Structure 1
Amino acid sequence: MAKKEIFIGFLVGLIANTLGVILCILYLANFTKLTFKTSIIVAYEQGNLGSIIALGAIMNVIAFFLFLRIKRDLRARGVLMATVFAAVGILIYKLM
């Protein structure tokens, strides 16, 4: 049962991070008057994609504290694990 709760939290963390990245790219696209796809390409070419992923992780903070507030500590642990997973992914991206 505990593994299932952590896995649910991990999935929520990945989904929240993905949603945060999409919102950041949509804001960037709207601000620069570029399309969604072009904004991703420009961010990649300029080396800003890792920063956008890190900004997307802010949504994990909301999910984390929401789970803590409703006493779902294992799900909050899963969200924290997803945040660490994103951080390691950013580190690998930056080192390549």
Structure 2
Amino acid sequence: MKKEILIGFIVGVIATVFGFIFAIQFFGDSDDWGNVIDQAIAEGFFTKLMSIGALLNLGAFFLFLKKNKDHRAKGVLISTILILIITMVIKFMN
């Protein structure tokens, strides 16, 4: 059971990273990810990019539910909540 939750958590983190990279490529003005991240932090929309990146977790969550992998879906939900907490901490620190 714990292994299944860990797998779901890792899938959630990887989905968030891929979503974040996709958001940087789609919404960024430059091909240099460092420039886009620096610009996003300076202009205050870094947390919005993180939130967009976490949207891929929605697909992973419902895919696991459809395949009756409830423990993996729980892991994805835990990773999404962790991303939420990190996003809120970053948002309120600026």
Task: Please give the TM-score of this superposition, normalised by the length of structure 2.
Answer: 0.93
Correspondence for 1:82: 79
Deviation >3 Å, runs of 4+: none
- Displacement after TM superposition at 1:33 (Å): 4.3
Tell me the secondary structure at the aligned position of residue 71 of structure 1. Answer: coil
2:68 corresponds in structure 1 to: 71
Gaps of 5+ in 2: none
Whole-angstrom CA distance in 1 between matches of 2:30 and 2:44: 19
TM (normalized to structure 1)? 0.92
Q: Which residue of 2 aligns with 1:44?
A: 41
- Number of equivalent positions: 93
Give SS of 1:76's match.
helix
CA distance in structure 2 between the partners assigned to 1:4 and 1:12 by the alignment: 12
Deviation at 1:34, TM superposition (A): 4.9
Determine the structure 2 residue equivalent to 1:8: 7
Unaligned 5+ segments in structure 1 are: none
Tell me the alpha carbon deviations over residues 17-66 of structure 1, each in whole angstroms, 9 at most, x when there is no partner.
Answer: 0100000001123xx34532211110011111111000111100010011
